[in-house]
Structure 1
Amino acid sequence: MTELVVKTCGPMTTLQDRGRLGYQRFGVSPSGAMDRRSLAIANALVGNSPETAAIEFMNLGGTLTASGGDLRIALAGAGCTLSIEGALVPPHTTAILKDGQIAQIGHARTGTFAYLAVAGGFAIAPQLGSLSFHLRSKLGGHNGGPLQAGDHLPCRSEAQEGALTHFPGDAPQPPDAIRVMLGPQDDYFTEEAIRLFLESQFTVSAQADRMGFQLSGPTLEHSKGFNIVSDGIVDGHIQVPGNGQPIVLMRDRQTTGGYPKIATVISADLDHFAQARPGSILRFRAVSRGEAVAAAREAKAWIAALPEALVPLRFSLTTEHLLSTNLIGGTVNALSPKIGEG
């Protein structure tokens, strides 16, 4: 059996796909990839559907090796680099990890989350329809936990034949301000609190994980207290507890909550928000429901168009290839006459 073997990785390296949908009424968090656009890019490069499970790296990279056969792999997200046996793979490019070779994923440079996809995905049984690991419930993942050194991830050997491709573009750039829809409990805040929320800067605190990002900024004053009858939570809801500091709820969030929610990050901007690092400064901008729906449709269309945006690799950038091409048309030295002279 062809396997991807983990040699080293960070403490929150996990398997993530689109998430565990349809179980919130039972108290089961959806979980899933923090940056679905980057997940989709990595999957497109190896011929997978956008929601196929991949390895999610948080901040730190890792090293892995192929065992029992060659693997077609690709990496996307957070400015991380992919090297195979020390040779750097160009960004957003499919690569072949040959049996016994070692792939190294660098640390995050421009965000937090990166994704390594393998052609055909992993041959691991899902739990409640998903491989996504949820830390607090221990659902999904590999053997009910995050990845760690020594883990063997079975892969589908029949899916490893295929074209090597490159994605020449970039993921959509983050907006100047994260777009939100006010509510559903914006009436629990003073007019001044709403104004401060939309006109002030906030900083992502060190208290940020897959469950939620706590922000630091001006205190947002409640007008009706900070406790409500617990109601449903969705990705991107912005709760404001008694200290007046907002918390943006992310993929591993709880399914219900009892703090009023001043606004909700629109789905099209949640991937951008997820890549914000502690210390990042951001602002919010209110949009209408129509604008939020239009942005969601645009994001969905962008992901659907990824396979057509890929270009085939004409050659492999190996030392052997570079030596076989005539890259130098001649040589000169300091004593050679200048062009046009003698």
Structure 2
Amino acid sequence: MIALQVHQVGQGVAVQDLGRTGFLSKGLTRGGAADRLAVHEGAALLHQSPDLAVLEMVGTGGTFEATEDMRIALTGAEMTAHVDGAAVAWNASHALAKSSVLTIGPTRTGTYGYLHVGGGFETEQMLGSRATHQSCGLGELVTAGDVLPIGADRGGDVGLTLPRDTRFDGGAIRIVPSMQTSDFANETREKFEATTFRRDPRANRQGIRMDSDGDGFATPKALSIVSEVIVPGDIQITGDGTPFVLMAESQTTGGYPRIGTVLPCDLPRVAQAPAGAALQFQFVSLEDGAAIEARARAAWAALPKAVTALVRDPATLQDLLSYQLIGGVVSATDAPLDRG
């Protein structure tokens, strides 16, 4: 059996995929990877489906041994990574030989790192997904001693990389109006957009608290709201005026007012923001939001075309002459500076 043996692992490491759909009416949110873009990036690096299961790591990874030759990719929050003691690049794919030991250490940037394997992890499926949904008791966290089975790999190149984007340092988050946006006064909504928030350390896969200076963001209609459907990305305002961005394992219903909803394509930026990172929310119309989301989905689907070689082979460089590889060469027998 092709598998990864887990010798040591950090807290919160779990098998994830793109989550479960169709169970919202039963009280189960989609769940799945906190950074869905990272799942698509790993799939592009291994030229396989993004539907395959991956390993999500929070803060630190672990030590894993390959039972057979396999391919791996590393995406999401950058972590220290070594194979048999030799450092390997993040946001890239690599060969992992039989009996080799992969060590993944703490994060350098971001929050959630991802380990992908050729063929995907083939842990037990529950309700059509392999995603671990901790708040609902579906699946368990990875622990030392586990053996994680891996599916059949169709094969392909390794030593591939993708450019990293800026989602690991906070930044601008686009939101659309939600069910109660109009319940907030115009000046409150304007203040919300003008406020620079800090990602609070109090965060998990259910929601992330947004901290800021000054007064909170209240609405006089907060106590009259009937509990209704909730989706990941909703920004709830609690009784003390504090915003919480709901994430992959959010509840399915709630009665707190929602000032807006984060576009799905921007949720990875919220998920990856480290504690203390600055975030600022910007309202866009539903029409503009739909167009932005469509463009993002197209860009995610096109990621395989953006993959390049991690170490470029000079034999394949059509623009080799532009590198001026022989610039600055002088003759050993005809040195102008030696002539009087």
Q: Which residue of 224, 228, 233 maps to 2:225?
A: 228
**2:299 partner letter:** W
- Structure 1 CA distance, aligned partners of 2:237 and 2:336? 71
Residue 89 of structure 1 corresponds to which residue in structure 2?
88
Corresponding position of 1:323:
none
Cα distance in 1, alignment partners of residues 312 and 63 from structure 2? 25
Which whole-Å CA distance do the structure 1 matches of 2:148 and 2:171 have between them? 40
Correspondence for 1:155: 150
What amino acid maps onto 1:275 in structure 2?
Q
Once residues 173 and 274 of structure 1 are traced to their aligned partners in structure 2, the CA distance between those partners, rounded to angstroms, is: 9
SS of the aligned residue for 1:94 comes to strand
Q: Does 1:180 align with 2:175?
A: yes
Match of 1:270 among 267, 272, 293: 267
**Aligned pair 1:6/2:6, yes or no?**
yes
Unaligned 5+ residue runs, structure 2? 314-325, 327-334
The structure 1 residue matched to 2:163, chosen from 164, 169, 181, is 169
1:189 has 2:184 as partner = yes
The residue aligned with 1:209 is 204
Q: Quick one: which amino acid aligns to residue 239 of structure 1? A: Q
List aligned pairs for 1:1-342, cutoff 5 A. 1-67=1-67, 69-139=68-138, 144-156=139-151, 158-159=152-153, 161-171=155-165, 176-217=171-212, 218-312=215-309, 340-341=337-338
CA distance in 2, matches of 1:146, 1:75: 19
* Contact 2:8 2:63 (8 Å CA) reproduced: yes
The question of whether the paired residues in 2 share the 8 Å contact of 1:226 and 1:242 is answered with no
Supply the AA of the counterpart residue of 1:102: V
Q: Is the 8 A contact 1:190 1:223 kept in 2?
A: no
CA distance in 2, matches of 1:273, 1:297: 19
Structure 1: distance between partners of 2:298 and 2:278:
29
- Matched-pair contact (CA < 8 Å) for 1:227–1:259: no
Shift in alpha-carbon separation, 1:138–1:341, aligned structure 2, 3 A: farther
Offset, 1:103: 0.4
1:233-282 per-position Cα deviation (integer Å, ceiling 9, x unaligned): 11100001111001100001011111111100111211111111121121
How far apart, CA to CA, are the structure 2 residues paired with 1:124 and 1:259?
36
* Aligned mates of 2:296, 2:92 — CA distance in 1: 22
Aligned-pair CA distance for 1:21: 0.8
Question: Shift of the alpha carbon at 1:58?
Answer: 0.8
Q: Distance in 2 between matches of 1:32 and 1:294?
A: 24
Q: Normalised by the size of structure 2, how large is the TM-score?
A: 0.87
Deviation of 1:170 (Å): 2.6
Structure 1, gaps ≥5 residues long: 317-328, 330-337
Q: C-alpha displacement at 1:227, in angstroms?
A: 4.9
State, as a whole percentage, how many aligned pairs show the same letter. 36
How far is the alpha carbon of 1:165 from its aligned partner? 4.2
| Distance across 2 between alignment mates of 1:47 and 1:227 | 51
Q: Residue 210 of structure 2 aligns to which amino acid in structure 1?
A: L
**How far apart in 2 are the matches of 1:4 and 1:98?**
11
